[in-house]
Amino acid sequence: MTTTASRGPRTAPHSGRADQVRRALAAVLPEGALVTAAASVERYSHDEAEWAPYEPALAVARPRTSEQVQAVVRVCLEHGVPVVPRGAGTGLSGGANATADSVVVSFEAMDAILAVDPLERYAVVQPGVVNDRLRAVVAEQGLWYPPDPASSPWSTIGGNVATNAGGVCCVKYGVTGDYVLALQVVTGTGELVRVGRRTAKGVAGYDLAALLVGSEGTLGLVTEITVRLRPARPPEQTVVGFFSSLVAAGEAVTAVTRSGVTPSALELLDRHCLRAVDDWKHLGLEANAAAILLARVDAPGAAGDLEADVLRDCFTAAGATWAARSEDPDEADALFAARRLAYPALERLGPVLTEDVCVPIVAVPAMLATIEEVAARHDVLIANIAHAGDGNLHPLLVTPPGDDGARRRAQDAFAEIIAAALAAGGTVTGEHGVGLLKRNGLLAELDPAVVAMHQALRRALDPAGILNPGKVVA
């Protein structure tokens, strides 16, 4: 898909209607919870998706309770104003981008961990809780919250729920949706409701909590989340492999899958990522290989030793120039830190258009080869990171600042990569969401009858059409 609009505001709404809406919002929110200054509103009006269009919102609401969120939605219903929910703004698909005359609802002030139950193994949190903070708090009670997107030091649980975020360990432990038990939600009709359950089992009625996970705020505004927790796991062992080509690294990924071992992490970084991170953070990383694979296993004792040996042998058999179990925990941690820092490191080079395709494991080598070919043909720098163990690839298209020709070539390459992923039996997004950037890709992926089902759901749950309009499917 080619996005023709540049990233940036096109109009600035100033009208009597806007003033009416602001006054009505001020009446239902506490002091300091409504932002109307243009410069501040601008910062809240978009996420991190490069070149995704947005309009300046007419105001930003920062509620502190579910009831205040409900009051904001009711004001917007009364005035026919769109509502755009926002977490930390770390999204990469434009899902939190404001539309003209909309009200952005920022959940930053709703950041309380309300309960942790170590017996039933769940936590109840507000949507503004940062992922890593939740993980740290439950770890104090010997518990673990597995979903860990690369943005976990900054992204919020609400935003993770909105896109059904995955992360480094999802190859073995699943994505956000696998851990959501219950939600409190403000609907498009202004009702405050609870869906889901806190029991270990439950099949009463439709699974509305699962429906809302990944809906990007188009079916309701999530104001409270109950997540499943796991017991703390044993320490992980790290296996590292260096490869002379991306394709060889992809072949190693398929070999690991065939081996029957499910690693707790299997991540790919190419030389562009390693170099960018090391130039920024000076971690002493070696960037001589075309790509490296970082794998971890967390089986205890001898079973973990055996799994680590299997992974090392898979790397070697696939052509690794060097593969070994890491004996230095600091070195292993530095490599995984590089994986998390890759995106911000590349942003220092220029605008980054981020892909999020997911393909069958067997298609990973060929897909990596296609990405290299597309990069060469369009003369675009494409750096590659990937949750390789589940086929979720993140080609990062980096362009020089202010180079419109490079931007157009990157957008053409972006569209070709989406088409190639679909041709390989894959999907346009594994965890970043559809937002604005992947809408055309979604329409190419889904049958028209399925698109109509999506649209019918939106009309049923948001009959006035105010919830995050223009995102996912219109």
How large is the average pLDDT for residues 366-378? 98
Alpha carbons within 13 A on the beta-carbon side of 263: 30
CA distances to 162, 207, 314, 434 from 213, rounded to whole Å, are 6, 10, 35, 13
Domain positions in the chain are 16-106, 113-231, 234-340
Q: Radius of gyration over alpha carbons of the chain, in Å?
A: 22
Q: Quick check: 9 pLDDT over 50?
A: no
Tokens of 249: 């690294």
Give the relative orientation of helices 66-79 and 16-28 as an angle to the nearest 10 degrees: 160
Q: Alpha-carbon distance 127 to 69, whole Å?
A: 12
3-state DSSP percent of the chain in helix, strand and coil, to 5: 40, 20, 40
Nearest to 83 by CA among 468, 470, 472, 471: 468
pLDDT single digits (tens) 430-458: 999 999 999 999 999 999 999 999 999 99
pLDDT band at 259, cuts 50/70/90? very high
The angle subtended at Cα 430 by Cα 322 and Cα 459, nearest 5°, is 175
CATH of region 113-231, choose from 3.40.50.1980, 3.30.465.10, 1.25.50.10, 1.10.420.10: 3.30.465.10
Give the pLDDT band of residue 16 (cuts 50, 70, 90): confident
Interstrand relation of 122-125 and 143-144 (parallel, antiparallel or unpaired): unpaired
Q: What is the pLDDT of residues 73-99, one digit of tens each?
A: 999 999 999 999 999 999 999 999 999
- The SS3 call for residue 148 is coil
Q: What is the pTM of this model?
A: 0.93
- CB-CB neighbours of 456 under 10 Å: 10
Q: How far apart are CA 305 and CA 327, in angstroms?
A: 12
Q: What angle do CA 90, 177, 238 make, to 5 degrees?
A: 75
Q: What is the pLDDT of residue 11?
A: 40
DSSP string, 102-116: -EEEE-TT---EEEE
CATH no. for 16-106: 3.30.43.10
Among candidate residues 29, 343, 338, 331, the one with its CA nearest the CA of residue 155: 343
Average pLDDT, the chain: 94
What architecture is the 234-340 domain classified under in CATH? Answer: 2-Layer Sandwich (3.30)
Alpha-helix runs per DSSP H in 349-391: 364-378
Beta-bridge partners for 385: 269, 394
AA letter at 392: N
- C-beta separation of 45 from 106 below 8 A: no
DSSP 114: E
Instruction: Please compute the mean of the pLDDT values over residues 55-66 and round it to a whole number.
Output: 97
Rounded CA separation 316/259 (Å): 13
What percent of the chain shows pLDDT beyond 90?
91
